[in-house]
């Protein structure tokens, strides 16, 4: 592995050797002022000379001239010619003009003259995209990301309307849960690093590899139909406009967490420093599915099977206990290099980026509790069932590399890029555990040691062609391999006061989880520009194919202590003198839980085929329509069995879905700066691999079990029988309606108001078993509806004093109201356990749907000192996280009031250095989730204190 | 052109890196069956999968449970006196066990001369033997246990009518118990000895030696022995069944454990605590709105240095009388072990209230105390009013030990010769 990495690194560094140009260069992109689309073949000439070039298929040009000051003449048929004055070219330098807008000649203007400084305003590039795009788009460009000084894509997303970030890494659009948000990389599906989620964690993408992030909120036919709340697309950089060689470094200091002498961790290896900890945590039985068990070897402990047993037993890492250390602070390093080079008939663009991050978190007095309703329906207050209080520390390491090469000719562009991410998270916790739950009553010391390693390798091949007769063709092919290994999750409880291990407190466990996914996505899109009713129109068609295969397995062991006596040190468990041997028959031994049947082993695959046609045209002068139809065939196959092996599926089709998805988007541009948009679309949400399985995955920390939806729940009191779940999970049909008014003003100011409505048929929710509250399953439940409103404002304070033009208020607010009809098992459970006087509801809000999201920021730019600063506030309304069942009650998130401040200053004569300072969680708020019940005080489900965080970043551009 | 050439090399390196990373961890499926597990002794009848039609097991054969075996609704399993049943190794959901599902029946009519023995595959015992020729009576968790489930009422949390028994995964509908038929009949269980079981599934989710979930009063259970179970010896989850003559030796957790408003009687029992037994008696209250209690009478309980006499918890109710305790440590010198206590649910007085109001009743408790220990330091919360200290020879209550002689390993090994 290391060799591969070294080779890769050397290859990347070789890119850095590049020859420098002697004369100067002017670069820019020519776009249509109306729709912000690039203009191919526009002429860019030094006014009064014959020196000139045509724009390429990205609308970009690259003009090499001797040093001097020029006027540039940009022209294209049916557009007014534009003269850009005073374009200065220095020797060996590149003058970046940015987006040059050509206006249609219908404007009665034959020639427009502007100065070079006006052109250079890419700051509003995303706003233009938003203004002119056919569908509803919000997003953030690389420019703004750089300016905001954030270090990763997740932090950048907090500035986007209707977007909320959970756990600092997962993006939700419009407060809809994970099931309804999708993330793509370069417009193509890739598997995330978390098998339980639809979305990719965004914090793994360093900002120096990101070109832009866009959030589409309305569906168009060229997108995949599993689209509900929105699609977040992360576009990685390909063609750099100028040579950049950037070094950056950052540190983060949290006074409450860092340099803390009580930091809880456990013994690891140097591989942990690079996110490669699985190599030192291998399973002692080599993942064999047939190993000797204790009862097999008692008779002859030293026979062949007995020796095998003893060897495996002695190969477990003996560390079970946490250790106390001093916590380090966060630090990160990044290097990126990008350039383009003119070749004989083409241009070569290339870039690479390497990033390393090492973050440490330490939570003291963290709480994870379980409360329940009391037996009598006239007792309202919740009673504690389990209380887990203690400290835990995490260390998260991310190593990422991106390398991309693109070759552009007059009518074609080819691109190849490779992204490699390696992430390792080490977690250790030490808790006091008090159980007063059903039939158990004890206090214990609990030790949790965990490691999770995630790897993603993504290759993207892409071709763009500008063909005769105004045809454009784009193809993409992207294979991805991702894997997650949770090697050696360790769990142990010593019962107090006598430090015993028994079945009452649970036997110690060692768990290995393996997930490996291959994904190949391919896509072809063809666009034909033509005239319809005398106006420009665009006809699109294309197809896509995705193949996915996931291999999943859990192998876990319980450690039975036999009659061993302990004094309270968890590391005594694997002491040689305590282990099973011929002289210690009743010693510590392992019990494999995956032999002979392992329901937590499955192989799933998906074939997903899509094809579409779409037409974008003007219905009337100011009314544009995009009408499309998509057809998708989605087949999912499953190989695996239930625990008793009474049901065995061998590559059997569990989803066979063929469906049509019509889309209608209308844009009424009733003034130069105002749009009214409407869209009506039909989309789908499909179950995940894990949901479409027989898996029974238990989480040793929360004690919850996830059960695959292929299993049924049948209820009977001995006389009558009811089927609460029939084991048949189907995709959800969704109807989406969107209405938006937008008003774009000068200097990047804007206001928009939106309303949306979504209707879900057969929505999928996570439902608890009526007969076992610790078990959860994805089921189709009653119909659901979401209705929402969004408001966005970007406003400066010029209206108070002209000087305040540089003080900007950005605000975006989303309100939603959702309701879902209860499943039969939930309805019954609520009826049975309702308190006296409590009304039994038939509908409730959808789980995971936030009632409101507010993002507000005040930004200031002081050009004289080259200082930009901003203060940001973000909050998400109380959201239903887990639906209550039987004696358990609903769990909600408590709004977390995030206030942060950031200031950055550009330094150096060449403006090539940037220093930024940031303070997060200024209000020192706590992250809480609570149980709520009728007429009862709220009780804590979980509580973490992230504390105040200060970070310092520095970047240097060569 | 120099830099272009370098670029080509770099491209090769990129592809190489990609290919490598694609193949690095994908070659792990070929290592299966490196060491075949030694095959089970021949001649045994292997039982795997559920029993879906009436069947009789005879004493001339050894029956080997290869998985969790459920006798499903409407089916009767008859086991002849003197038959030996052995569970294969298996843990967690793979624990081997005999489950009598709701509506199924077990007719296990052992006799004092020919008890029916449930044990591990590691046990070399043969029909006709009482003591294991090779296994120590402290070895636990070598297989699962015997689980009998019925349709009698249970008091379940949240008031739900039925639930899955602990020790059986949620996905197996044969693990459901509870209902509304109080006189439900799960068959006849006489003279059975269950040994070395108790495979553990997870915290609070384990197999007891004999698990009785929602078993109705139409069921006959007499003369039962449980030895060396990881979890409890016998645990009742609701139901109405009564049990006569039970003996539990070396249980890993509690010896006798009652939950969910079991409404039957345990008459004549012996508990011999082992080195990690928790409570000799763990008596819990109802979990849901439905309330009822049970009776334990005529018991002899011998402690160990870590065990507690009894814990009455969370609104426990019922009558506990004529029970003799001996061999427990002093609470003062054992971190509070060795006591007989009433435990209330957090912030309530639900158990002590029951005691005060006569819903939880104690009569004629006797104890032989360790040196320099007072009666009230052992019998807490005023329960000492119903207990008296006696010398062993002077005890007037306790089990009729003669019921266990001859057929139980505990008696045969001399554990009852106090």
Mean of pLDDT values over A588-601: 89
Mean of pLDDT values over B295-308: 95
Residue A300 belongs to some domain of the structure: no
Q: Are residues B231 and B174 in the same domain?
A: yes
Q: Is the CB of A705 inside 8 Å of chain B's CB atoms?
A: yes
Interface contact flag, B345 A436, Cβ < 8 Å: yes
Owner of token pair 């040093």: A67
Nearest to A606, CA basis, from A576, A633, A636: A636
Q: Are residues A136 and A197 in the same domain?
A: yes
Q: Give yes or no for residue B347 having a pLDDT over 60.
A: yes
Q: Give yes or no for residue A110 having a pLDDT over 70.
A: no
- Distance from the Cα of residue A280 to its chain's centroid: 28
Q: Are residues B371 and B272 in the same domain?
A: yes
Q: Are residues B275 and B329 in the same domain?
A: yes
Residues of A in contact with B14 (CB under 8 A): 8, 11, 403, 416, 418
Q: Are residues B226 and B273 in the same domain?
A: no
How many CB atoms sit inside 10 A of residue B236's CB?
A: 30
Better-predicted residue by pLDDT, A438 or B413: B413
Picking from A241, A274, A308, the residue at the C-terminal end of a domain is A241
Interface contact flag, A591 B91, Cβ < 8 Å: yes
Which residue in A has a C-alpha nearest to residue B196's C-alpha?
A295
Which phi and psi angles does B11 have, rounded to 5°? -60, -40
Residue A545 belongs to some domain of the structure: no
Give the integer Cα–Cα distance in Å for B120 and B141: 9
Q: Are residues A151 and A107 in the same domain?
A: no
Q: Are residues B287 and B347 in the same domain?
A: yes
Paired with B312 in beta bridges are: B283, B342
Owner of token pair 């239903």: A880
Q: Are residues A43 and A89 in the same domain?
A: yes
How many CB atoms sit inside 10 A of residue A77's CB?
A: 9
Q: Are residues B221 and B266 in the same domain?
A: no
Residue B13 belongs to some domain of the structure: no
Residue A904 · residue A954 · CB < 8 Å: no
Q: Are residues B201 and B256 in the same domain?
A: no
Mean of pLDDT values over A49-66: 85
Question: What pLDDT does A226 receive?
Answer: 86
Residue B173 belongs to some domain of the structure: yes
Residue B72 belongs to some domain of the structure: yes
Q: Is the CB of B405 inside 8 Å of chain A's CB atoms?
A: no
Paired with A458 in beta bridges are: A419, A480
Q: Are residues A109 and A210 in the same domain?
A: no
Task: Identify the band that residue A19 occupies on the pLDDT scale cut at 50, 70 and 90.
Answer: very low
Picking from B241, B256, B291, the residue at the C-terminal end of a domain is B241
* Chain B contacts in chain A segment 466-505 (CB below 8 A): 479, 481, 483, 485, 493, 497-498, 500, 502-505
Q: Is the CB of A342 inside 8 Å of chain B's CB atoms?
A: no
Residues of A in contact with B158 (CB under 8 A): 373, 773, 829, 832-833, 885-888
Question: What pLDDT does B325 receive?
Answer: 97
Interface contact flag, A771 B200, Cβ < 8 Å: no
Interface contact flag, A288 B34, Cβ < 8 Å: yes
Q: Are residues A134 and A230 in the same domain?
A: yes
Q: Is the CB of A162 inside 8 Å of chain B's CB atoms?
A: no
Q: Are residues B55 and B124 in the same domain?
A: yes
Q: Give yes or no for residue A14 having a pLDDT over 50.
A: no
Q: How many residues does chain B have?
A: 418
Nearest to A448, CA basis, from A397, A506, A504, A399: A506
Residue B351 belongs to some domain of the structure: yes
Segment (H or E) for B19: helix B2-23
- Domain boundaries, position A208: 126-241
Q: Is the CB of A773 inside 8 Å of chain B's CB atoms?
A: yes
Q: Give yes or no for residue B275 having a pLDDT over 70.
A: yes
Q: Are residues A99 and A72 in the same domain?
A: yes
* Chain A contacts in chain B segment 141-180 (CB below 8 A): 141-143, 151, 155-164, 169-173, 176, 178-180
Nearest to A813, CA basis, from A752, A744, A758: A752
Give the integer Cα–Cα distance in Å for A552 and A694: 12
Question: What pLDDT does A215 receive?
Answer: 81
Residue A59 belongs to some domain of the structure: yes
SS3 call for B359: coil
Residues of B in contact with A15 (CB under 8 A): 6-7, 10
| Residue A846, token pair as written in the block | 């959808």
Our CA dihedral for A159, A165, A168, A169, rounded to 10 degrees, sits at -100
Mean of pLDDT values over B365-375: 95
Give the integer Cα–Cα distance in Å for A834 and B288: 12
Q: Are residues A237 and A130 in the same domain?
A: yes
Q: Is the CB of B53 inside 8 Å of chain A's CB atoms?
A: no
Nearest to B325, CA basis, from B360, B264, B281: B281
Q: Are residues B234 and B262 in the same domain?
A: no
Q: What is the CATH number of the domain that holds A190?
A: 2.170.130.10
Interface contact flag, B67 A597, Cβ < 8 Å: yes
Picking from A119, A145, A171, the residue at the C-terminal end of a domain is A119
Segment (H or E) for A788: strand A784-796
Q: Could you tell me how many helices (H) and strands (E) chain A has, helices first?
A: 8, 51
Question: What pLDDT does A192 receive?
Answer: 67
Better-predicted residue by pLDDT, A88 or A132: A88
Tens-place pLDDT, residues A392-413: 999 999 898 889 999 988 888 9
Question: What pLDDT does B35 receive?
Answer: 32
Secondary structure letter of residue A643 according to DSSP: T
How do strand B55-57 and strand B318-326 relate by DSSP bridges?
Answer: unpaired
A165: left (phi over 0), alpha (psi -120 to 50) or beta: beta
Q: Are residues B214 and B175 in the same domain?
A: yes
Residues of A in contact with B4 (CB under 8 A): 343, 348
Angle value at C-alpha B281, between B278 and B285, nearest 5 degrees: 110
Residue A618 belongs to some domain of the structure: no
How many domains is chain B partitioned into structurally?
Answer: 2
Distances from the Cα of B86 to the Cα of A21, A290, A522, B145, B346, angstroms:
84, 20, 56, 10, 43
Question: What pLDDT does A862 receive?
Answer: 86
Picking from B189, B222, B241, the residue at the C-terminal end of a domain is B241
Residues of B in contact with A698 (CB under 8 A): 202
Question: What pLDDT does B21 receive?
Answer: 34
How many domains is chain A partitioned into structurally?
Answer: 2
Mean of pLDDT values over A167-178: 72
Mutate which of B25, B94, B132, B254 to disrupt the A interface (most A C-beta within 10 Å)?
Answer: B94
Task: Identify the band that residue B126 occupies on the pLDDT scale cut at 50, 70 and 90.
Answer: very high
Question: What pLDDT does B38 receive?
Answer: 38
Number of A–B residue contacts, CB under 8 Å:
305
Q: What is the CATH number of the domain that holds A113?
A: 2.60.40.1120
Question: What pLDDT does A855 receive?
Answer: 85
How many CB atoms sit inside 10 A of residue A334's CB?
A: 22
Interface contact flag, B284 A646, Cβ < 8 Å: no
Residue B171 belongs to some domain of the structure: yes
Per cent of chain A over pLDDT 70 is: 88
Write the DSSP string, B100-165: E-TT-EEEEE--SSS-EEEEETT----TT--S-SS--TT---SS--EEEE--S----GGG-S-EEP
Task: Identify the band that residue B26 occupies on the pLDDT scale cut at 50, 70 and 90.
Answer: very low
Distances from the Cα of A661 to the Cα of A730, A735, A736, B273, angstroms:
17, 10, 11, 68
Q: State ipTM.
A: 0.81
Residue A553 belongs to some domain of the structure: no
A701: left (phi over 0), alpha (psi -120 to 50) or beta: alpha
SS3 call for B401: helix
Which residue in A has a C-alpha nearest to residue B347's C-alpha?
A383
Mutate which of B178, B203, B262 to disrupt the A interface (most A C-beta within 10 Å)?
Answer: B203
Question: What pLDDT does A847 receive?
Answer: 87
Q: Are residues A54 and A75 in the same domain?
A: yes
Residue A554 belongs to some domain of the structure: no
Question: What pLDDT does B23 receive?
Answer: 34
Q: Are residues A108 and A90 in the same domain?
A: yes
Q: Are residues A104 and A176 in the same domain?
A: no
Segment (H or E) for A250: strand A244-253
- State chain B's mean pLDDT as an integer: 87
Interface contact flag, A11 B13, Cβ < 8 Å: yes
Residue A707 · residue A699 · CB < 8 Å: no
- Domain boundaries, position B370: 248-418
- Cβ contacts of A431 within 8 Å, gap of 6 or more: A366, A368, A388, A389, A390, A391, A392, A445, A446, A447, A448
Q: Give yes or no for residue B375 having a pLDDT over 70.
A: yes
Percentages (nearest 5) of helix, strand, coil residues in chain A: 10, 55, 35
Tens-place pLDDT, residues A761-803: 999 988 877 777 677 889 998 899 999 999 988 898 988 988 8
pTM: 0.85
Mean of pLDDT values over B118-147: 94
Picking from A96, A119, A142, the residue at the C-terminal end of a domain is A119
Q: Are residues B276 and B302 in the same domain?
A: yes
* Chain B contacts in chain A segment 14-43 (CB below 8 A): 14-15, 17-19
Secondary structure letter of residue B338 according to DSSP: S
Q: Are residues A87 and A30 in the same domain?
A: yes
Q: Could you say which of A350, A438, A711 has the minimum Cβ distance to residue B157? A: A438
Secondary structure letter of residue A22 according to DSSP: S
Q: Are residues B306 and B393 in the same domain?
A: yes
Give the integer Cα–Cα distance in Å for A148 and A870: 8
Q: Could you say which of B142, B156, B275 has the minimum Cβ distance to residue A295? A: B142
Give the integer Cα–Cα distance in Å for B395 and B326: 10
Q: Are residues A139 and A82 in the same domain?
A: no
Interface contact flag, A585 B311, Cβ < 8 Å: no
Our CA dihedral for A288, A293, A297, A302, rounded to 10 degrees, sits at 40
Distances from the Cα of B154 to the Cα of A394, A624, A694, B212, B358, angstroms:
44, 66, 29, 11, 22
Residue A160 belongs to some domain of the structure: yes
Give the integer Cα–Cα distance in Å for A331 and A268: 19
Q: Could you say which of A289, A383, A707 has the minimum Cβ distance to residue B347? A: A383
């Amino acid at each position: 592995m290391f060799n591969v990495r070294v080779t890769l690194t050397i290859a990347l560094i070789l890119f850095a050797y590049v020859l420098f140009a002697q004369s100067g260069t002017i670069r820019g992109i020519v776009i249509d002022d109306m729709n912000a689309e690039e203009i191919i073949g526009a002429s860019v000439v030094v006014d009064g000379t014959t020196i000139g070039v045509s724009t390429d298929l990205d609308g970009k040009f690259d003009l090499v001239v001797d040093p001097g000051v020029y006027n540039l003449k940009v022209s294209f048929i049916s557009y007014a010619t534009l003269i850009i004055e005073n374009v200065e070219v220095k020797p060996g330098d590149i003058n970046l003009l940015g987006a040059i807008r050509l206006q249609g000649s219908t404007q009665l203007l034959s020639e427009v003259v502007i100065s070079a400084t006006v052109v250079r305003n890419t700051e509003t590039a995303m706003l233009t995209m938003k203004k002119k795009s056919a569908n509803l788009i919000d997003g953030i460009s690389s420019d703004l990301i750089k300016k905001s000084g954030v270090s990763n894509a997740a932090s950048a997303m907090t500035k986007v309307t209707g977007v909320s970030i959970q756990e600092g890494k997962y993006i939700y659009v419009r407060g809809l849960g994970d099931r309804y948000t999708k993330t793509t990389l370069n417009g193509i599906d890739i598997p995330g690093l978390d098998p339980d989620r639809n979305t990719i964690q965004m914090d793994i993408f360093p900002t120096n590899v990101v070109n832009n992030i866009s959030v589409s909120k309305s569906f168009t036919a060229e997108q995949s139909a599993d689209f509900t709340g929105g699609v977040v697309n992360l576009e990685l950089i390909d063609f750099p406009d100028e040579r950049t060689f950037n070094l950056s470094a950052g540190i983060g200091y949290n006074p409450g967490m860092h340099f803390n002498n009580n930091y809880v961790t456990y013994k690891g290896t140097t591989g942990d420093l690079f996110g490669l900890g699985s190599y030192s945590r291998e399973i002692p039985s080599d993942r064999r599915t047939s190993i000797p068990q204790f009862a097999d070897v008692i008779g002859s402990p030293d026979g062949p099977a007995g020796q095998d047993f003893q060897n495996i037993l002695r190969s477990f890492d003996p560390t079970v206990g946490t250790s106390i250390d001093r916590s380090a602070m966060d630090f990160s390093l990044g290097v990126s290099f990008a350039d383009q080079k003119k070749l004989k008939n083409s241009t070569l663009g290339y870039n690479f980026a390497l990033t390393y991050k090492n973050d440490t978190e330490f939570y003291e007095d963290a709480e994870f509790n379980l409360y329940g309703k009391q037996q009598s329906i006239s007792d309202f207050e919740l009673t504690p069932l389990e209380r887990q209080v203690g400290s835990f520390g995490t260390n998260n390491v991310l190593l990422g590399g991106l390398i991309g090469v693109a070759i552009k000719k007059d009518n074609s562009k080819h691109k190849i890029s490779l992204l490699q991410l390696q992430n390792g998270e080490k977690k250790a916790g030490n808790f006091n555990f008090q159980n007063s739950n059903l039939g158990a009553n004890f206090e214990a010391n609990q030790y949790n040691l965990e490691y999770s390693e995630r790897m993603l390798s993504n290759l993207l091949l892409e071709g763009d062609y500008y063909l005769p007769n105004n045809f454009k063709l784009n193809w993409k092919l992207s294979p991805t391999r991702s894997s997650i290994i949770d090697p050696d999750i360790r769990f142990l409880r010593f019962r107090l006061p006598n430090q015993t291990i028994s079945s009452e407190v649970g036997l110690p466990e060692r768990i290995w989880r393996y997930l490996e996914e291959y994904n190949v996505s391919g896509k072809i899109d063809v666009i034909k520009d033509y005239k319809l009713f005398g106006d420009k129109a665009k006809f699109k068609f294309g197809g896509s194919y995705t193949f996915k295969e996931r291999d999943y397995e859990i192998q876990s062991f319980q450690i039975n202590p036999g009659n061993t006596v302990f004094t309270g040190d968890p590391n005594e468990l694997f002491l040689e003198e305590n282990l099973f041997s011929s002289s210690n028959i009743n010693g510590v031994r392992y019990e494999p839980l995956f032999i002979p049947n392992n329901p937590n082993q499955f192989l799933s695959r998906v074939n997903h085929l899509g094809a579409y046609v779409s037409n974008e045209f003007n219905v009337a002068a100011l009314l544009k329509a995009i009408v499309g139809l998509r057809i998708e065939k989605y087949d999912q196959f499953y190989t695996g069995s239930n625990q008793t092996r009474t049901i065995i599926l061998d590559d059997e089709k569990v989803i066979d879905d063929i469906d049509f998805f019509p889309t209608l988007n209308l844009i009424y541009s009733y003034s130069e700066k105002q749009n009214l948009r409407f869209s009506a679309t039909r989309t789908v949400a499909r179950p995940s691999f894990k949901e479409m399985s027989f898996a029974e995955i238990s989480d040793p920390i929360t004690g919850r079990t996830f059960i695959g939806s292929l299993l049924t729940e049948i209820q009977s009191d001995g006389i009558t029988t009811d089927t609460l779940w029939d084991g048949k999970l189907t995709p959800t049909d969704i109807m989406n309606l969107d209405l938006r008014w937008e008003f774009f003003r000068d200097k990047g100011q804007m206001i928009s108001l939106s309303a949306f409505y979504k209707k879900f048929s057969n929505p999928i929710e996570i439902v608890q078993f009526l007969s076992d509250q610790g078990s959860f399953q994805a089921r189709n439940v009653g119909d659901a509806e979401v209705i929402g409103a969004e408001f966005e404002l970007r406003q400066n304070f010029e209206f108070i004093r002209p000087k305040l033009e540089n003080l900007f208020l950005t605000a975006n607010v989303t309100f939603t109201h959702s309701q879902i009809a209860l499943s039969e098992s939930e309805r019954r459970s609520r009826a049975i356990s309702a308190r006296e006087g409590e009304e039994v509801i038939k509908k409730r809000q959808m789980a995971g749907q936030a009632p409101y999201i507010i993002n507000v920021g005040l930004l200031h730019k002081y050009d004289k000192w080259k200082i930009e600063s901003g203060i940001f506030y973000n909050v998400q309304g109380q959201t239903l996280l887990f639906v209550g069942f039987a004696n358990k009650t609903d769990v909600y998130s408590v709004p977390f009031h995030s206030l942060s401040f950031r200031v950055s200053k550009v330094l150096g004569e060449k403006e090539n250095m940037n220093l930024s300072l940031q303070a997060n969680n200024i209000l020192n708020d706590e992250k809480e989730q609570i149980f709520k019940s009728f007429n009862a005080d709220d009780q804590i489900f979980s509580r973490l204190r992230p504390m105040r965080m200060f970070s310092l970043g520095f970047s240097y551009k060569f | 052109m120099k830099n272009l050439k370098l670029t080509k090399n770099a491209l090769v390196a990129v592809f190489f890196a990609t290919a490598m990373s694609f193949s690095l961890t994908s070659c792990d499926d070929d290592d299966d069956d490196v060491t075949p597990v030694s095959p089970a002794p021949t001649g045994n009848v292997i039982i795997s999968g559920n029993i879906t039609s009436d069947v009789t097991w005879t004493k001339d054969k050894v029956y080997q449970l290869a998985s969790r075996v459920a006798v499903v609704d409407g089916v009767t399993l008859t086991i002849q006196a003197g038959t030996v049943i052995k569970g294969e190794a298996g843990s967690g959901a793979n624990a081997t066990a005999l489950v009598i599902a709701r509506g199924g029946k077990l007719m296990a009519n052992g006799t004092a001369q020919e008890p029916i023995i449930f044990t591990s595959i590691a046990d070399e015992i043969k029909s006709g033997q009482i003591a294991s020729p090779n296994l120590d009576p402290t070895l636990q968790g070598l297989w699962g246990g015997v689980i009998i489930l019925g349709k009698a009422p249970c008091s379940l949390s949240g008031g739900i009518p039925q639930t899955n028994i602990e020790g059986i995964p949620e996905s197996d509908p044969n693990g459901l118990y509870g209902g509304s038929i109080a006189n439900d009949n799960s068959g006849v269980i006489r003279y059975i000895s269950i040994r070395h079981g108790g495979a553990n599934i997870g915290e609070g989710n384990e197999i007891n030696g004999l698990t009785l979930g929602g078993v109705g009063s139409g069921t006959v259970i007499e003369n039962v022995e449980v030895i060396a179970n990881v979890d409890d010896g016998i645990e009742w989850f609701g139901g109405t069944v009564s049990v006569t003559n039970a003996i539990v030796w070396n249980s890993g957790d509690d010896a006798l454990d009652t939950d969910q408003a079991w409404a039957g009687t345990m008459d004549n029992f012996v508990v011999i605590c082992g080195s990690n037994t928790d409570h000799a008696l763990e008596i819990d209250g109802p979990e849901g709105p439905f309330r009822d209690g049970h009776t334990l009478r005529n018991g002899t309980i011998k402690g160990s240095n870590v065990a507690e006499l009894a814990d009455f918890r969370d609104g426990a109710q019922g009558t506990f009388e004529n029970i003799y305790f001996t061999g427990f440590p002093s609470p003062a010198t054992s971190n509070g072990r060795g006591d007989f206590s009433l435990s209330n649910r957090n912030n309530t007085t639900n158990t002590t209230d029951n005691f005060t109001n006569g819903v939880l009743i104690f009569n004629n408790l006797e104890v032989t105390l360790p040196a320099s220990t007072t009666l009230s330091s052992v019998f807490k919360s005023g329960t000492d009013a119903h207990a008296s200290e006696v010398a062993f020879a002077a005890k007037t209550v306790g089990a009729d030990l003669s019921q266990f002689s001859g057929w139980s390993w505990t008696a045969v090994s001399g554990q009852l010769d106090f």
